[in-house]
Amino acid sequence: MSAIRNWLGAHGVMLFGLLVLAYLCTPIVVVVLMSFNDPASRLGYDFDGFTLDNWTSICDPYQMCSSVGKSIQIGLMATGLATLLGSLMAFAMVRHHFRGRSTSNVLIFLPMASPEIVLGSSLLALFVNAGFAGQLGFWTIFIAHVMFCLSFVVITVKARLAGLDPRLEQAAADLYATEWQTFWRVTFPLVVPGIVAAALLSFSLSFDDFIITNLTSGQTVTFPMYVWGAAQRGVPMQVNVIGTIMFVLALSMVVGGSVLRRVREAPARG
């Protein structure tokens, strides 16, 4: 009895941690498994047999690959613009004291705090009133995505900047670096992890978004919308292939990033 209690005392936290991890990972495991599924019927979600067919015929389902392409395109463009604008805003809000700074700080939070369905419907109303009624599509989705990614970028980069010791920049100036050199040699390299994190977050937010996209897309179909539509008839197994690829990409970015950091920080000698 007491042996079990001792064992639990020593390993209880670990056991609990593993259970939570398993809980978190189960959906991903299911997605990976399903990507190798050979379903008996179109409407079935049972694992009926192993096959590589889904992987060799990814683009077979009508419109699927084009919707993935659209999502990636919008994701990359929205991320680019939102990261650029958001980083500049974060610099302004941390480094400069201007009228309305605290108001801007509050306003930045609003898109994060509002329900997406509200944002989406008001954007739709805005676009229609602005005369885009017949032209909803790629560009309106792009505008909407930049809008909601922006807040996340500003918050992420601001946190990184606020943690940056101003004495580092003063030390650079003391060591003969002009303002320009100080920015590129000291400030930027130290803030870059925050900017990268913001960009990754933006991309996944944009790639993933359904509600706002659905309301502002017109005839354009993004990947989440495709999956939603397909679900009415039975989701093709290739969707799981796309899911697995996205998961592997994200995982390798995270692992790659930390390996790179290890290598860079480890002393080469001594």
Identify which of residues 96 and 167 has a Cβ nearer to other proteins in the complex: 167
Binding-residue total with other proteins (CB under 8 A):
22
CA distance 189 to 150: 21
Strand partners, 37: 50
Identify which of residues 122 and 258 has a Cβ nearer to other proteins in the complex: 258
Identified binder of other proteins from the candidate list 78, 90, 172, 242, rule CB under 8 A: 172
Identified binder of other proteins from the candidate list 15, 19, 133, 175, rule CB under 8 A: 175
CA distance 152 to 83: 9
Q: Using the rule CB under 8 A, is 2 a contact of other proteins?
A: no
Return the residues of window 5-34 that contact other proteins according to CB under 8 A: none
Residue 135 per-residue DSSP state: G
Q: Using the rule CB under 8 A, is 168 a contact of other proteins?
A: yes
The contacts of residue 179 (CB under 8 Å, 6+ apart) are 173
Closest CA to 207 of 153, 246, 252, 251: 246
Identified binder of other proteins from the candidate list 111, 185, 220, 224, rule CB under 8 A: 185
Q: Using the rule CB under 8 A, is 177 a contact of other proteins?
A: yes
Q: Is 50 helix (H, G, I), strand (E, B) or coil?
A: strand
Among all chains, which residue has been given the structure tokens 């609003």? 110
Q: Using the rule CB under 8 A, is 195 a contact of other proteins?
A: no
Identified binder of other proteins from the candidate list 57, 178, 252, 258, rule CB under 8 A: 178
Q: Least CB distance from residue 163 to other proteins, whole Å?
A: 11
CA distance 241 to 205: 20
Q: Using the rule CB under 8 A, is 134 a contact of other proteins?
A: no
CA distance 109 to 93: 13
Report CA dihedral (89, 153, 196, 117) to the nearest 10 degrees. Answer: -150
Q: Using the rule CB under 8 A, is 234 a contact of other proteins?
A: no
Binding site for other proteins (CB under 8 A): 165, 167-168, 170-178, 181, 185-186, 189-190, 265, 267-270
